[in-house]
Amino acid sequence: PLSKNASNVRYLSTLNISGKDYVSDDLTNIRQSISSHVGRNVYLLPNHPISILNSLIHSHFGPTYTVVPPKSPIVTPEQNFDSLSFPPDHPGRRASDSYYINRQWMLRTHTSAHEVEVFAEGHKRWLFTADVYRRDEIDASHHPVFHQMEGARLWSNTEISSLVEENRQLETELSRQDILIEDLTTIGQSNPIQPCHDEMLARSISTNLKLSINGLLLKLFGTEGNGPLKVRWIDAYFPFTSPSYEVEVFYQGKWLEILGSGVVAQSTLNKAGIKSEAGWAFGLGLERIAMVLFQIPDIRLFWTTDERFLQQFQPGLVTSFKPYSKYPPVTHDVSFWLPVVHEGKAPFHENDFCDIVRDIAGELVEDVKLIDNFAHPQTGRMSHCYRIQYRSMGRTLRQEEANLITQDIKNQLITMFSVESRG
Ligand code: FA5
Ligand code: MG
């Protein structure tokens, strides 16, 4: 039995996730290729690079930080968005960006979804690691399922003087730098201090956040052989922190974003019943850091069950991944006319295409790019052309196999989205 969702796309009428059945509705947009990742818990396998990195970060922060035990990835939109003051029209809420089980339940898009409950449990310094789910592009550094570590630290009014002193000490320790850290942030107008915060306090918390993260990066990357690692702090925006920052590292000729962070919104703490404290929080993308640290070239590898991957790693050790030989890619272009958009219906989204490709090609897809986006000058009809690159990580992919996959993708596009093939 099929049910139709907002864009008239058919999904199974019940969805089984981790052994439990959920009734689909007009928001449902989860496929087997996504729900099959729920409960795999690769970050708990002792010799998995995510787990090795996770432990390294735990030991850097030390025993004063509580390691919060796992929580279910199935959350309410209230937990994932409302509890963090996301405005009702925030793009993150859209079905094109998030995975909805139905109107009531979704897969968390970030570990911040648990901030209010963890703060309410009374922890003042904590770390929480989990699998998170997002409809996103397909390439070597984006995967629809990945891992984040949330970290936070709070101070009460009476502890502020010790914060200033601690910052002074951390600053001295960090001055022997083997990484190049650039701070491009500008606290002020465009990245404001919360009105309820004293300026001196907010600046000290920001400084402590930066010193704590820089200390971690120095520990993780300080001994890199290939010259100093370049890191930069830039301004950012999150509904649940202000001021907000992101950190990027220079990797393979590009700036790669590894975390978001900031001074915790007082509204979050108020919801948790903590009115007299203030502090910082961050959300690290663990795959991104592990890719740099273990030299893992493709984010899909974190999900492989190939022994040639896992057997290369040992708990507690950072070692470089030795790629097993790279097999040749197969590239196909798929072009089609989009259906005419009706009022009140979500238009076709690049993530809709990526999801179908992911579902049919599984881990054989390496990269998807929208290479042409064309509006017919007379009719105004839109057409998209996508370039799909397939590559198996374990064998040579045969042309005929890739042809069948592409044909399947085209068929699905036609039946689910009523697109018209452009040959
Ligand atoms: C967040 O998710 C915020 N919750 C982070 C945060 C926490 C801010 C606490 C303030 C306070 P963002 O969407 O930027 O932010 O994601 C955080 C990190 O997750 C990114 O920097 C990136 O390293 C990683 N990430 C995001 N999308 C993907 C993806 N598709 N695949 C792999 N890693 C990703
Ligand atoms: Mg970001």
Would you kindly state where each structural domain of the chain is located, as residue ranges? Answer: 37-73+108-310, 326-421
- Mean pLDDT throughout 244-270? 94
Pick the CATH number of 326-421 from 1.20.970.10, 2.60.120.10, 3.30.70.380, 3.40.50.300: 3.30.70.380
Name the DSSP class of 144.
S
Q: Which residue has the higher pLDDT, 329 or 423?
A: 329
Give whole-number Cα distances, 236 to 191, 263, 278, 310, in Å: 8, 12, 19, 35
Q: Are 373 and 362 in contact (CB under 8 A)?
A: no
Largest CA distance in the chain: 69
Confidence of residue 158 (pLDDT cuts 50, 70, 90): confident
User: Does ligand 1 have an atom closer than 6 angstroms to the CB of 149?
Assistant: no
User: Does ligand 1 have an atom closer than 6 angstroms to the CB of 282?
Assistant: yes
- 324 pLDDT above the threshold of 90: no
CA-CA distance, 356 to 416, in Å (whole number)? Answer: 10
- Mean pLDDT throughout 131-143? 93
User: Does ligand 1 have an atom closer than 6 angstroms to the CB of 146?
Assistant: yes
Residue type, 118: V
- 423 pLDDT above the threshold of 80: no
CA atoms within 13 A on the CB side of 99: 26
Confidence of residue 341 (pLDDT cuts 50, 70, 90): confident
- 9 pLDDT above the threshold of 70: no
User: Does ligand 1 have an atom closer than 6 angstroms to the CB of 98?
Assistant: no
Dist. CA 238 → ligand 2 center (Å):
9
Q: Whose CA is nearest to atom 19 of ligand 1?
A: 285
The b/e string for 316-341 (b: 16+ C-beta within 10 A; e otherwise) is eebeebeeeeeeeebebebbbbbbee
CA-CA distance, 89 to 108, in Å (whole number)? Answer: 18
Dist. CA 244 → ligand 2 center (Å):
11
Residues, Cβ < 5 Å to ion ligand 2: 260
Tell me the average pLDDT of the chain: 91
User: Does ligand 1 have an atom closer than 6 angstroms to the CB of 81?
Assistant: no
- Mean pLDDT throughout 312-324? 93
- Mean pLDDT throughout 301-320? 93
Superfamily of 37-73+108-310 according to CATH: Bira Bifunctional Protein; Domain 2 (3.30.930.10)
Dist. CA 247 → ligand 1 center (Å):
10
The closest-lying atom of ligand 1 relative to the alpha carbon of residue 111 is: 4
Q: Are 285 and 145 in contact (CB under 8 A)?
A: no
User: Does ligand 1 have an atom closer than 6 angstroms to the CB of 136?
Assistant: yes
